[in-house]
Amino acid sequence: MQARRPTIDDVARHSGVGRTTVSRVLNDGPNVRPEVRDRVWASVRSLNYSVNPQARSLASGSSGLIALVFASDFDAQPNSFYASALELGALRECLVQGRHLLTHHVPQHSPDWKRQVLELIRTQRCQGVVLTPPFSDDPDLVKAATAQCAVALISPSPSTRGLADGVGVDDEAGGYDVARHLLGLGHRNLAYITGLESHLSAARRLEGLRRAVKSQGLDPASVRVLGGDFTFRSGVEHTRRLLGERSPPTAIICANDDTAAGALSVAHGLHLSVPDELSITGFDDTPMSEIVWPPLTTVHQPLKDMAGAAVSAIARRLAGEEDGPRFETLPHRVIARESSGPPGAP
DSSP codes of every residue in 252-266: EEESSHHHHHHHHHH
Among DNA, a copy of itself, none, what binds residue 184 when CB lies within 5 to 8 Å by partner kind?
A: none
Percent helix, percent strand, percent coil in the chain, to nearest 5:
45, 15, 40
Contact flag: residue 63 with a copy of itself (CB under 8 A): yes
Residue with smaller CB distance to DNA, 48 or 247 = 48
Among 7, 23, 80, 189, binds a copy of itself (CB under 8 A): 80
Q: Contact residues for DNA (CB under 7 A)? A: 4-5, 7-9, 16-21, 23-24, 26-27, 30-33, 36, 49, 51-52, 55-56, 58-61
Residue with smaller CB distance to DNA, 56 or 161 = 56
Contact flag: residue 26 with a copy of itself (CB under 8 A): no
Helix (H) or strand (E) holding 101: strand 100-106
CA distance 250 to 188: 8
Contact flag: residue 290 with a copy of itself (CB under 8 A): yes
Whether 160 and 153 have beta carbons less than 8 Å apart is answered as yes
Residue with smaller CB distance to a copy of itself, 248 or 295 = 295
CA distance 97 to 239: 44
Contact flag: residue 159 with a copy of itself (CB under 8 A): no
CA distance 139 to 92: 28
Q: Minimum distance between the CB of residue 215 and a copy of itself, rounded to whole angstroms?
A: 34
CA distance 176 to 180: 6
Contact flag: residue 345 with a copy of itself (CB under 8 A): no
Among 186, 227, 248, 294, binds a copy of itself (CB under 8 A): 294
Closest CA to 149 of 168, 159, 164, 134: 164
Contact flag: residue 332 with a copy of itself (CB under 8 A): no
Q: Minimum distance between the CB of residue 144 and DNA, rounded to whole angstroms?
A: 22
Distances in whole angstroms, Cα of residue 264 to Cα of each of 46, 95, 245, 259: 60, 39, 17, 9
SS3 102: strand
Q: Minimum distance between the CB of residue 23 and DNA, rounded to whole angstroms?
A: 3
SS3 300: strand
Residue with smaller CB distance to a copy of itself, 81 or 176 = 81
The contacts of residue 110 (CB under 8 Å, 6+ apart) are: 116
The residues that bridge with 281 in the sheet, in sequence order, are: 253, 297
Contact flag: residue 258 with a copy of itself (CB under 8 A): yes
Q: Minimum distance between the CB of residue 24 and DNA, rounded to whole angstroms?
A: 6
Among a copy of itself, DNA, none, what binds residue 36 when CB lies within 5 to 8 Å by partner kind?
A: DNA
Q: Which residues bind a copy of itself (CB under 8 A)?
A: 1-2, 50-55, 57-58, 63, 74, 77-78, 80-81, 83-85, 87-88, 91-92, 100-105, 122-125, 147-150, 232, 258, 261-262, 264-265, 268-269, 287-288, 290-294
